[in-house]
Structure 1
């Protein structure tokens, strides 16, 4: 029986061939060995940001087939921690979304992720539990949190999250940036702009805190396609749901300003900010 080390060596020996087989499906900016170093050394926790990883035509086609948010294919999450919408089920994906999800769960792409992150034996999720299309509408947000560490359907250990952004001509003034925090959620260490065909791959961990800034637009939503990747649970593994940062770590604004943000349209807020 092969040892774990032997299995990993075998994988590495073949991964470049797999990468070359995917050249019409992915566009890496550097060899996978270099991507691995970037991932492991990233601050504040292991992650990669890759622009134009996928053919833009693929993402364009996915946008074309998306139904409006009024369609019953969407589930709307509206609470103090998050304001966002998710696709109800992977079964509801259109043909282009289905093909994209199938590719992201394919053996070739799983091997590619393993080579870039060093996490072997990755398992996808064709059901897209908690994944698929994510939409943060005007005024929407996602407070500082660490992702839950398990898939509730299969019990598998969540290891990676991947987001591919679908926002054309996204201006930083529109908000919606992803923030990556230090391990006690007291300081934002990195900001990722959610521009079209930018992909973020990040490690899931109990101290890997992140958040989505409020979307400051009256008409536009922040859109992405999310996938999670798993391994079999390790010894003493304890499942938990999302962990939110303690409220005393989160910056608090005066009550009046917080109420104004909740009640006034973004265009009115921007006008008030411009008044000295």
Structure 2
């Protein structure tokens, strides 16, 4: 099944729930706008995504105070079906439909998968509260939506590895959205959209296919350029101080070097793509 066929299935499922999804996003948009929809693909296709998902040994490991997970954007190194699925979410009609649901008039998918692609979280993996980088790598467009599609069958609440939104900031209590099998979560990204993933507690892999959408305009008039900012959780005071200093230092670097000082390894290096820079 190719990307166009997969996108037709996704489009139909979202369209038949458009009104309800729009209400969900509007009702949450005063803090962090989001919606989620289950059974986004037929079950056999969602299970196929999981069955061909790469082993973590074939992915890039990120391990620090900020995060512990495995990622990949180099899709030609993995099963071709995963590439068909990830680009199905970039189909023009799906991008337009999600823009209508979220009331964003201009949306652009990211063919380079800058910070998108595949994500695997195994036992003890986590992602601390953070704000995504505000822009694309060229600082031309605003990052405005994060699409997360979960494909691990029978992923239970007690397993951890769930998305957490912090609508009142990372010093307060988060809202948890389960990373259920065959669930698509769409969340807004702006200067207040703190989010995280709680620690995986079981010996299994929580697998996710992700995309970002960009726009000509920020979601909020008060938004300003920022690098990815991490914070500690409410009980991690020392971690919070360290990560706050890290974010401040990286922002200082970006004021001097507008496009950063090193190439970003998390991008799909196709023959027609230039190397992106942090």
Q: Deviations over 1:170-208 (max 9, x none)?
A: 122221121111232222342111110111100001111
Stretch of structure 1 that moved more, 49-58 or 86-95: 86-95
Does the 8 A contact of 1:62 with 1:97 survive in 2?
yes
Would the alpha carbon gap of residues 251 and 53 (structure 1) be closer, same or farther in structure 2, given more than 3 Å must change? same
Q: State whether structure 2 residue 216 is matched by structure 1 residue 229.
A: no
Would the alpha carbon gap of residues 213 and 24 (structure 1) be closer, same or farther in structure 2, given more than 3 Å must change? closer
1:192 aligned partner: 177
Does the 8 A contact of 1:75 with 1:88 survive in 2?
no
- 1:153 CA displacement: 5.0
Does the 8 A contact of 2:86 with 2:210 survive in 1?
no
Give secondary structure in 1 for the equivalent of 2:81: helix
Aligned residue-pair number: 230
2:110 aligned partner: 125
Aligned partner of 1:37 among 18, 23, 27: 23
Q: Deviations over 1:57-111 (max 9, x none)?
A: 322222222232222xx11101011001111423334221121122111111111
Q: State whether structure 2 residue 70 is matched by structure 1 residue 85.
A: yes
Alignment of 1:48-59 (within 5 A): 48-59=35-46
Would the alpha carbon gap of residues 32 and 142 (structure 1) be closer, same or farther in structure 2, given more than 3 Å must change? same
Give secondary structure in 2 for the equivalent of 1:70: helix
With normalisation by structure 2, the TM-score equals: 0.74
- 1:238 CA displacement: 4.3
- 1:24 CA displacement: 6.8
Does the 8 A contact of 2:109 with 2:213 survive in 1?
yes
Aligned partner of 2:83 among 94, 98, 107: 98
Does the 8 A contact of 1:175 with 1:216 survive in 2?
yes
Alignment of 1:94-243 (within 5 A): 94-153=79-138, 155-217=140-202, 219-233=203-217, 238-243=224-229
Give secondary structure in 1 for the equivalent of 2:13: coil
Would the alpha carbon gap of residues 70 and 30 (structure 1) be closer, same or farther in structure 2, given more than 3 Å must change? same
Which runs of 5 or more residues in structure 2 are unaligned?
1-6, 238-278
Stretch of structure 1 that moved more, 131-140 or 30-39: 30-39
Bigger Rg, which one: 1
Instruction: Write the distance in 2 (CA, Å) between the matches of 1:23 and 1:222.
Output: 23
Aligned partner of 1:68 among 37, 47, 55: 55
Would the alpha carbon gap of residues 65 and 153 (structure 1) be closer, same or farther in structure 2, given more than 3 Å must change? farther
Q: Which 4+ runs in 1 deviate beyond 6 A?
A: none
Instruction: Write the distance in 1 (CA, Å) between the matches of 2:222 and 2:190.
Output: 15
- 1:167 CA displacement: 1.6
